[in-house]
Amino acid sequence: MSAPDANELLRTEGLTLRFGGIAAADGIDFALARGEHLAVIGANGAGKTTFINICTGYIKPSSGRVLFEGLDITRKGPRQIARLGVGRSFQMPQLFLDHTVRQCLELASVSRQGRLSRWTSLSRAADQRAVAEMLELVELAAHADDPTAALPEGRRKLLDVGIALMLEPKLVIMDEPTSGVSSEDKHGVMRTLMRALQQRQVTSWFVEHDVEIVRRYATRVAAWIDGRIAADGAPAQVFADPLVRREVLGER
Ligand SMILES: Nc1ncnc2c1ncn2[C@@H]1O[C@H](COP(=O)(O)OP(=O)(O)O)[C@@H](O)[C@H]1O
Ligand SMILES: [Mg+2]
C-alpha cells in the first residue's frame, strides 16, 4: 500500500447504507484535506446527514470504510471518534437546557480532561482559562451566565460549536449551522463560526442551503443527489454545473 497523504484528514471508500429500498449512501468515495472549508449542498433527503452520521460513528455503514488520519474509524463510536479529533455540531443543538452557557463549556472542559471527581465542583474542575477563551472566541462572553434555554437559535449554534472546539478537534462537521437562525442573524453567526475555526486552524465541513453563505465561506463545494456526490470542486465550478443548477438549486 502507498503511504498515506499527510495532508489528507478524512477519507471514505465505497461507503454504502440502505434504508429499505433507499440508498442513503451509495458507494461514496470522498477525501478531505487539512485546511479545507467544505460546504455540502443538496435537497432534503439527499443523504447529507446520513454521511455525517456514518463519519462520526453514530450509524454504521453496510459496506465501505472511513479513515481519519489514515486510521480506520468505521466501527468506532462517537466518543472515540470525537477524541481522535472530529468535532460535530447538530442541526438541533443538544444542549443542557438547565445549564448556563459557561456551565456547558465547563462540562466540555471536564469531559476533555477525563472525569469529574464527585468531591470537586464543576467550576473548579474545569479549565477556566480555556472556558474564558472559548466564550470570547464564539462571542458569547456577554451571555456566559444566561441559561442555554433562553438563547436565541443563532447563539445556541455558536455554543454548540464552542463545545465541539473545547475538545481541540482537527475537523469540525456542522450540520446546517444556520438552519432555524433568522435571516438577519445568519450571516453574523456564520462569520463568527468561520472566524473561530480559522483562528484555531480547524478544517471544517458544513451543510448549508444558502448559496450566498456557501460562496462566501467555502473553499470547496460538494453537491449531494440521491446518496451520491454529483459534483465536487471549487464553488464557482459546482454552481455552474447544469445538473447542480437543475437538481439542487431548482433552476429551470
Ligand atoms: N434512521 C433512518 N431510518 C430510515 N430512513 C432514514 C433514516 N435516516 C435517514 N433516512 C432516509 O435516508 C435518506 C437520506 O436522509 P438524510 O441523510 O437525513 O438526508 P439529508 O440530510 O440530505 O436531508 C432519506 O430518504 C431519509 O428518509
Ligand atoms: Mg440533514
- Whole-structure pTM value: 0.94
The average pLDDT across 239-248 equals: 95
> 39: which residues sit within 8 A by CB, 6+ positions away?
205, 206, 207, 208, 213, 214, 217, 218, 220, 221, 222, 235
pLDDT over 80 (residue 95):
no
**Nearest ligand to the C-alpha of residue 44?**
1
* Mean pLDDT value across the chain: 93
User: What is the C-alpha end-to-end distance of the chain, expressed in Å?
Assistant: 46
**pLDDT of res. 118:** 66
The average pLDDT across 244-252 equals: 91
**pLDDT of res. 5:** 78
Specify the amino acid at residue 5: D
Q: Which residues surround ligand 2, an ion (CB under 5 A)?
A: 48-49
The predicted-structure confidence for 136-193, as pLDDT tens digits, reads as follows: 999 999 999 999 999 999 999 999 999 999 999 999 999 999 999 999 999 999 999 9
Return the percentage of the chain with pLDDT > 90, whole number. Answer: 85
pLDDT over 60 (residue 36):
yes
Ligand 1 atom showing the smallest separation from residue 51 Cα: 17
Given the C-alpha cell 499527510, which residue does it identify?
A: 6
Q: Which residue has a Cα nearest atom 16 of ligand 1?
A: 47
Q: Which residue has a Cα nearest atom 8 of ligand 1?
A: 50
Q: Contact, 69 vs 82, CB < 8 A?
A: no
* 64 phi and psi angles, rounded to 5 deg: 95, 175
* 177's grid cell: 449551522
The average pLDDT across 186-211 equals: 97
Q: Which residue has a Cα nearest atom 3 of ligand 1?
A: 19
**Nearest ligand to the C-alpha of residue 179?**
2
pLDDT over 70 (residue 3):
no
- Answer whether 46 contacts ligand 1 (Cβ < 6 A): yes
Q: Which of 22, 44, 247 to mutate to test the pocket of ligand 1 (most atoms within 8 A of CB)?
A: 22
Q: Which of 28, 49, 50 to mutate to test the pocket of ligand 1 (most atoms within 8 A of CB)?
A: 50
pLDDT over 60 (residue 14):
yes
pLDDT over 60 (residue 2):
no
- Answer whether 45 contacts ligand 1 (Cβ < 6 A): yes
The predicted-structure confidence for 99-125, as pLDDT tens digits, reads as follows: 999 999 999 998 877 666 666 788 888
SS3 232: strand
Q: Contact, 154 vs 182, CB < 8 A?
A: yes
DSSP per-residue letters across 173-222: EESSTTTTS-HHHHHHHHHHHHHHHHHTT-EEEEE---HHHHHHH-SEEE
For residue 189, the CA-to-ligand 1 centroid distance in Å is 26
**Nearest ligand to the C-alpha of residue 20?**
1
- Answer whether 48 contacts ligand 1 (Cβ < 6 A): yes
The predicted-structure confidence for 39-73, as pLDDT tens digits, reads as follows: 999 999 999 999 999 999 999 999 999 999 999 99
